[in-house]
Structure 1
């Protein structure tokens, strides 16, 4: 499973996404089957190429599991809703566990 964190330079929420992703991978037992890479995006063309609908964006096997097709690609900050509906700068660990569980072999122990 290829995981790519796509973010603008110095995005303050990219480290939070990576930290939560590591926790979710450990909790699902998928860490050994996952490869995490990082992409820095600095212009609109790169954002489009990497499907970045705001920074940070997580791609799982080149697909954004949190994508809203109505939101265009771009260099803006991205916000995610947690389980209580609050906005955060990265998906919650629970949300990451859910999307990892939808990937073949992503949630199996």
Structure 2
């Protein structure tokens, strides 16, 4: 399984997502590749729906399909309401699927 975390530096939420994802992945013997996105062109090419974007085998399991591509902070719907990163339980569920 290939895990990627796409982000841009101006969004603080990627660090929370990285911490959660690294913890879960490490417990499963997986590594997380990080990719810095710096331009709108890179965002469109990577299908970057905002920071942080998590890809599992190249797919964004949290995308509904209508989010725009670009350099913005992303909002996730979590059990506790909107947040800047998926909840740990949501990440675990994605990796278990």
TM-score, normalised on structure 1?
A: 0.81
Structure 2, unpaired ranges of 5+: none
Tell me the CA shift for residue 42 of structure 1: 1.1
Tell me the CA shift for residue 35 of structure 1: 2.2
Tell me the CA shift for residue 41 of structure 1: 0.7
Tell me the CA shift for residue 53 of structure 1: 0.4
Give the superposed CA RMSD: 1.4
Tell me the CA shift for residue 63 of structure 1: 0.7
The answer (yes or no) to whether the contact 1:24–1:94 under 8 Å persists in 2 is: no
Q: Which residue of 2 aligns with 1:89?
A: 84
Q: Which residue of 2 aligns with 1:74?
A: 70
SS in 1 for 2:44: helix
Q: Which residue of 2 aligns with 1:105?
A: none
Instruction: Figure out how many residues of one structure are paired with residues of the other and give that number.
Output: 97
Rounded Cα–Cα distance in structure 1 between residues aligned with 2:91 and 2:9: 23
Whether 2:22 is the aligned partner of 1:22: answer: yes
Rounded Cα–Cα distance in structure 2 between residues aligned with 1:24 and 1:93: 8
Rounded Cα–Cα distance in structure 1 between residues aligned with 2:66 and 2:58: 19
Whether 2:43 is the aligned partner of 1:47: answer: yes
Q: Max radius of gyration: which structure? A: 1
Q: Which residue of 1 aligns with 2:61?
A: 65
Higher share in strand: 1
Per-residue CA deviations over 1:52-82 (Å, capped at 9, x if unaligned) read 1011100111111101211111111101111
